[in-house]
Amino acid sequence: MGSANEICADVWVPGFVGAPADARPRTGDGPRVVRGGAADLYPWQGGDEWLLLLLAATRYEHTQFTAVRPVASLPPRN
């Protein structure tokens, strides 16, 4: 989140109809869902999802930049 866009496993569709009930990602061909990247937007553009998707589709096609995000499981709450 924040200033970095994250391309997710989900395929983008314009709604929630037919979404998996168990929160699995939607798979298939097509553009991927993008989260974050709000710092790339100007205030007058808003934060519409289609704009973030367009930014990711145009920004990451020809770039040589790779980022790593460490992930770890949290211990259970007591």
Cβ atoms of 33 and 14 within 8 Å: the answer is no
Specify if 30 maps to a domain: yes
Specify if 13 maps to a domain: yes
Specify if 11 maps to a domain: yes
Higher pLDDT, 59 or 31: 31
Judge whether residue 72 has pLDDT over 60. yes
Specify if 67 maps to a domain: no
5-53 residue pLDDT tens:
677 888 888 887 888 888 888 888 888 777 766 555 555 555 555 555 5
Task: Note the pLDDT of residue 1.
Answer: 42
Specify if 72 maps to a domain: no
Range of the domain at 36: 5-59
Rounded-to-integer distance, Cα 47 and Cα 39, Å = 10
**Number of structural domains the chain divides into:** 1
Specify if 53 maps to a domain: yes
CA distance to 26, 58, 67, per residue, from 2 (Å): 24, 19, 14
